[in-house]
Amino acid sequence: MTAKEYNTSVRLWADDAMRFAVRCGGTKADSEDAVQDALASLWQQHESVALERGKGFLLSTTYRRLMSMFRHQAVQRDHAAELAAQESQAPDEGFDLREAIECALSVLPEVQRAILQLRDVEGYSYAEIGETLSLNADRVQVYLFRARVAMRKQLIKLGYGINQ
Amino acid sequence: MESINNNNYELWLVRYADGDLTAAERAAVEQWLEGHPEAAEELKLYGEAPRLERDESVHYAAAVPGRVQPLWPAVLRWSAAAAVVALVAVPLGLWLTKPAEEPLQVAATEMPGSLVKEYGPTVVDTVSPVHEVIAVRTRHAVSASGSAVFSDADNQSVDNDITDELFVDAARCVPTEEPLLAAAEVSLPAADTARRVPTEEPVAVDMEEPSQQLVYVDNLFTVDSGNVVEQRLLAVNETIKERLQGTYLGRRLARRMPTGDELLDYTDNLRERTPEGVRMMADMVLAYNESNK
């Protein structure tokens, strides 16, 4: 990847990496830091990374940086507690489906959120997701199954039935 | 793949939903689901789950259309520019405290020759008369009391202060070769020098209570000017912090102290990968000097 191609990568994929980081549960600041680190890493290795692999490199590195941050901050995400908190949040008139989906996503483990984002938004295959997240493709499918089921259950609890 | 069971049914159901199974396999799954209504319910929920959509409201702040730049160098520019501001502020401080009547003795800078040519004598390492400053190049950090703190930038012990580390890196940014230009003497116009006459007397350093603030200088200065320089460095420090606000490095600095290695990495990368960074640093120094006239 040339310097020009690196710039192209930034223009094309920085936003995607940012969305990915936010979906994985990162705060805005943490997500920006993770993306920045990923871009820095890409620049450091740009001579050995082909342009067509740039996006995968960015997403993968962003994910690893973000997970490292979570561990570093000793953020022990108590999903049961989060779930209880979400259950106590009754939907109101201003609580639309998009917000409900984000709310439902927030109770999922980061890896499941990452898989949903890569599958639904980025359109990655199971193998590509596995490569990005360093997971076996079979494991990716299992996590995807659990993520969708858990998200659907949560949406029902939030008042969004089958036709909503 | 092993036939469907309670341990692997999730994988089977994903493939079932994706249509990746043969007719025989689908029949086997459907038969198994008849005896496992909980799993059948999960399959139903799986199919009903909404697909995520791209959130167009989320953007990476630095990727502004039309202003796309390699972001790593952008980080480097800030730290390196701050470092060079600090590097130049030291001799500048000495120069500003010099009486206007005396001709200035200007020593060579360590900037690349092309920059010196372009920017002329404005960006130079200024040295006061010998009784104030010993114009001997050294790589010793000194405290305001004038005592050497460490002699090797790689074997340092600095306070828990951002400026110290930036200053240390400023020193590391400087090539170790001999000065590119020979010393020269110039006289500034009277009006110009008059503007630089200090309005207050330098405060002598209390030798009994030396400051803990570390100052890194290329020119070893004497005690009586040390305190003034230190005050100016502290002012530069505030400028650096202010300019870093909202940037990636600024946020990191706000959360924790960067290690010396990290800052060294920034500056090393700047030197190795972004030769234009040197020019930017010079621009920043000029702008800083201009704003302080």
Question: How many other C-beta atoms are found inside a 10 Å radius of the C-beta of residue B134?
Answer: 14
Alpha carbon A60 to its chain's center: 10
The amino acid sitting at A103 is C
Specify the higher pLDDT residue, A71 or B201: A71
What digits encode the pLDDT tens for the residues B26-44? 999 999 999 999 999 999 9
- Proportion of chain B above pLDDT 70, given as a percent: 20
CA nearest to B53 within chain A? A121
pLDDT the model gives residue B140: 32
Contacts of the segment B242-250: beta carbons below 8 A, 24+ positions apart: B243/B78, B243/B82, B244/B78, B244/B82, B247/B75, B247/B78, B248/A32, B248/A33, B248/A36, B248/B62, B248/B71, B248/B74, B248/B75, B249/B75, B249/B78, B249/B79, B250/B78
Whole-number percent of chain A with pLDDT over 90: 30
Kindly state the average pLDDT of the residues A103-120.
Answer: 89
Helix, strand, coil share (%) of chain A residues, nearest 5: 75, 0, 25
Do residues A116 and A105 lie in contact, with contact meaning Cβ atoms separated by under 8 Å? Answer: yes
Interface with A, mutate which of B41, B48, B276 (most A CBs under 10 A):
B48
With bands split at pLDDT 50, 70 and 90, how would you rate the model's confidence at B233?
low
For all residues of chain B together, what is the average pLDDT? 54
Q: Give Cβ neighbours of residue A129 (< 8 Å, ≥ 6 apart).
A: A115, A118, A119, A135, A137, A140
CB contact under 8 A, B62 and A14: yes
What integer pLDDT is reported at residue B137 of this predicted model?
A: 29
pLDDT tens, residue by residue, B247-289: 665 665 555 554 555 555 544 444 444 444 455 555 555 555 5
Q: What is the pLDDT of residues A8-65, one digit of tens each?
A: 888 888 889 999 998 888 888 888 888 888 988 898 888 898 888 889 999 999 999 8
CA separation (Å) from B197 to B28, B77, B95, B201? Answer: 93, 32, 10, 10
Residue B150 has pLDDT above 90, yes or no: no
Q: Does A111 touch chain B (CB under 8 A)?
A: no
- Are B70 and A36 within 8 A, CB to CB? no
Whether A114 shows a pLDDT value over 90: the answer reads yes
Q: Is A162 on the interface with B (CB under 8 A)?
A: yes
Q: Is A126 helix (H, G, I), strand (E, B) or coil?
A: helix
| Predicted local confidence at residue A59, as pLDDT | 93
Distance CA A95, CA A113 (A): 21
For A2-14, write each residue's pLDDT tens digit: 888 888 888 888 8
Question: How much is the pLDDT for A146?
Answer: 93
pLDDT digits (tens, 9 = 90+) for A78-99: 555 555 555 545 455 456 777 7
Strand partners, B184: B106
- Contact criterion met (CB < 8 Å) for A148 and B75: no
> Minimal Cα–Cα distance from B43 to chain A, Å?
8
Q: Tell me the average pLDDT across B227-254.
A: 57
Using a CB-CB distance cutoff of 8 angstroms, which residues of chain A are in contact with residue B252? Answer: 33
ipTM, two decimals, is 0.76
Whether A12 has its CB under 8 Å from any CB of chain B: the answer is no
pLDDT at B90 over 60: no
Residue position matching structure tokens 């730290």: B79
* Residue among A23, A138, A145 whose CB faces B13 most closely: A145
Tell me if B16 sits within 8 A of B32, measured CB to CB: no
pLDDT reported for residue A32:
87
Digit-coded pLDDT (tens) for B210-223: 343 333 333 333 34
Residue-range domains of chain A with CATH: 1-76 (no CATH), 78-164 (1.10.10.10)
What's the pLDDT at A74?
54
Query: Where is pLDDT greater, at B7 or B109?
Result: B7
Query: Do A44 and B72 make contact, defined as CB atoms within 8 angstroms?
Result: yes
Confidence of residue A136 (pLDDT cuts 50, 70, 90): very high
pTM of the model: 0.47
B34 Cα to chain A: minimum distance (Å) = 19
Higher-confidence residue: A129 or B59? A129
C-alpha count within 13 angstroms, C-beta hemisphere, residue A151 = 28
Which one has a higher pLDDT value, B61 or B182?
B61
